[in-house]
Amino acid sequence: MTTILAIETSCDETAAAIVKNRKILSSVVASQIPIHQKYGGVVPEVASRRHLEIINTCISQAFTEASLDWDAIDAIAATVTPGLVGALLVGAVAAKTLAILQQKPFLGVHHLEGHIYATYLSQPHLKPPFLCLLVSGGHTSSIYVKDCGEYEILGTTRDDAAGEAFDKVARLLNLGYPGGPIIDRLAKIGDPQAFPLPEGKISLPGGGYHPYDSSFSGLKTAVLRLVQKLERDNKPIPVKDIAASFQETVGRSLAKKTIACAVDRQIKIIAVGGGVAANSGLRKHLIDAALPHDIQVYFPPLELCTDNAAMIGCAAVEHFDRGHTSPLTLSVKSRLPLTQVMELYRY
């Protein structure tokens, strides 16, 4: 049974975890949200510096919580792509250094593959093929999971990611950063039918619309124009109702496209990953839309929706068990398509 020490530093969470097969032995996450809130978003240089300051403490705490020593560790993994290059370097260099010192194999993990594997930690018997809806601050994709390392992108966003749209709308409403949790709280006490907002559609050259691709730029602009009109008319801004209407539109749109994709492909399991997977509106829309089609929808626990090292460790266990390891010369990359994930390994 494989045991992995995993490190995640792709953005603004410094995380370390020890995972045994699909079981979490320890998971430490040091969030930088309070640091970046005053800037209204993540500042890459600040994030990298904070990772450097806290990474050793997180790793040490992961071992303490797991009550293990280095003899129990089979390999060391770290997120190497995609993400902020400076932030990724901190985790990758830490993992490589430990791999050399402790004479352990190293695995570079794709961050999005980690989000797919987050569901495995709460559903250990989950097996491909299934559809993964990955919704986060930087990504919104419908991914056909064929096997470990084998993925087909069936739908994506053509502009803003869902999480990015939440942050931008929260900024328009002066709600602060990050926007997702704040909008979700307000939406529960607002009227989701107060303002009809447009679902983004992607036109096809031959006519009609792409069935699975999303667009959130127009929705964001519609909220902006709504706020501007209310201000021009000297009317109060009903923040709760706008938040509820926005969240309703996002959840309905994503659920409609995801379920259509699953039905067309005759897929009976959907796993949802990424920070927006924690959104209560999206969860309800997906579950309700899936029910008539006898489709099972799995969501990770809330603590595994946002960035964490446990999901990275789970993905690394699967690759390691298949004989995949990464060279110590592997570099970090700000971007790498998920379909090219096997470029990270020797096999």
Contact 324, 345 (CB under 8 A): yes
Q: What mean pLDDT, rounded, does the chain reach? A: 95
The first and second tokens of residue 290, run together, are 């899936």
Contact 161, 179 (CB under 8 A): no
Q: Residues 6 or more apart from 322 whose CB is under 8 A from it?
A: 148, 347
Contact 217, 202 (CB under 8 A): no
pLDDT confidence bin for 39, thresholds 50/70/90? confident
pLDDT at 347: 66
Q: Residues 6 or more apart from 65 whose CB is under 8 A from it?
A: 18, 25, 26, 27, 28
CA diameter of the chain: 68
pLDDT tens, residue by residue, 43-87? 889 989 999 999 999 999 999 999 999 999 999 999 999 999 999
pLDDT above 90 covers a percentage of the chain that reads 86
Q: Residues 6 or more apart from 117 whose CB is under 8 A from it?
A: 311, 314, 315, 318
User: Partners of 300 in the beta sheet?
Assistant: none
Q: Which amino acid is it at 55? A: I
pLDDT at 242: 98
Choose among 79, 66, 154: nearest CA to 118: 79
Domain boundaries, the chain: 3-117+305-344, 128-303
**What's the Rg (C-alpha) of the chain?**
20
The first and second tokens of residue 83, run together, are 């993400």
Q: Give the pLDDT mean for 129-157.
A: 95
Q: Give the pLDDT mean for 153-165.
A: 92
Three-state secondary structure call for residue 84? coil
pLDDT at 35: 84
The third-level CATH classification (topology) of the domain covering 128-303 is Nucleotidyltransferase; domain 5 (3.30.420)
Opening angle at CA 83, ends 246 and 116, nearest 5: 70
Q: Give the pLDDT mean for 8-25.
A: 96
pLDDT confidence bin for 204, thresholds 50/70/90? confident
In angstroms, rounded to a whole number, what is the distance separating the alpha carbons of residues 118 and 127?
13
CATH number of this structure's domain 3-117+305-344, picked from the four choices 3.40.980.10, 1.20.1050.10, 3.30.420.40, 3.30.70.20: 3.30.420.40
pLDDT at 210: 85
Q: Does pLDDT of 203 surpass 80?
A: no
pLDDT confidence bin for 209, thresholds 50/70/90? confident
Return the C-alpha torsion angle 10, 11, 17, 19, nearest 10: -50
* 93: exposed, middle or buried (Cβ count in 10 Å: 0-12, 13-18, 19+): middle
Q: Which amino acid is it at 171? A: R
Q: Do domains 3-117+305-344 and 128-303 have the same CATH topology?
A: yes
Q: Give the pLDDT mean for 304-317.
A: 97
Q: What is the pTM of this model?
A: 0.94
pLDDT at 41: 82
